[in-house]
């Protein structure tokens, strides 16, 4: 499963729109229903208006009626197409993933390539998180 998700993310990486940072990111999320949704980062001249790959993939899943994410794979490349390391989700993306997952169950796959990845959980990346149940 990890390798399939990584392949899905790598398959859309070239669609990333990163004319300012030149750092291209793609993500693939696996939902509870077994569907996979992909997303890429989409930068904007007004920097805060950009969209992260993970948020893009989650938004696509939610817009298709999904409500639970089981795993996410994230890949990234610089302007020369080289991996500079494992790409971890930013704080906002971690919170968005938290909204649609169980932190200790959500697998987060940080990949350089299909055969080179690390696996962690959202709970490890976002301990003591605030989620829907926190609102009573």
Residue 84's pLDDT is 73
Domain ranges, ordered by start, for the chain: 2-135
Q: Which residues contact 30 (CB under 8 A, 6 or more apart)?
A: 1, 5, 36, 69, 70, 71, 72
Cα distance between residue 30 and residue 83, in whole Å: 23
Please state, for a pLDDT cut of 70, what percent of the chain lies above it: 100
| Residue spans of beta strands (DSSP E) within 17-129 | 24-31, 36-40, 69-77, 107-113, 116-121
Work out the pLDDT band at 81, boundaries 50, 70, 90.
Answer: confident
Give ∠ CA 45-50-56 in degrees, rounded to 5: 150
Residue 54's pLDDT is 98
Is residue 32 scored above 90 in pLDDT? Answer: yes
Instruction: Please give the positions annotated as active site.
Output: 54
Check if CATH label 3.90.1150.10 holds for domain 2-135: no
DSSP code of 86? Answer: P
83-98 pLDDT, tens digit each: 878 999 999 999 999 9
45-68 pLDDT, tens digit each: 999 999 999 999 999 999 999 999
Structure-block tokens of residue 95: 């919170």
Is residue 13 scored above 90 in pLDDT? Answer: yes
| Mean pLDDT, the chain, integer | 96
Is residue 101 scored above 80 in pLDDT? Answer: yes
């Amino acid at each position: 499963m990890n390798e399939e998700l990584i392949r899905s993310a790598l398959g859309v990486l070239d669609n990333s729109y990163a004319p300012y940072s030149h750092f291209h990111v793609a993500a693939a999320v696996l939902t509870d229903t077994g569907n996979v949704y992909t997303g890429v980062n989409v930068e904007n001249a007004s920097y805060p208006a950009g969209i992260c790959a993970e948020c893009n993939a989650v938004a696509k899943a939610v817009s298709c009626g999904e409500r639970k994410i089981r795993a996410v794979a994230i890949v990234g490349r610089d302007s020369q197409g080289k991996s500079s390391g494992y790409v971890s989700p930013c704080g906002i993306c971690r919170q968005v993933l938290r909204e649609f997952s169980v932190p200790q169950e959500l697998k987060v796959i940080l990949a350089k390539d299909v055969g080179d990845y690390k696996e962690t959980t959202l709970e490890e990346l976002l301990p003591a998180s605030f989620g829907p149940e926190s609102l009573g």
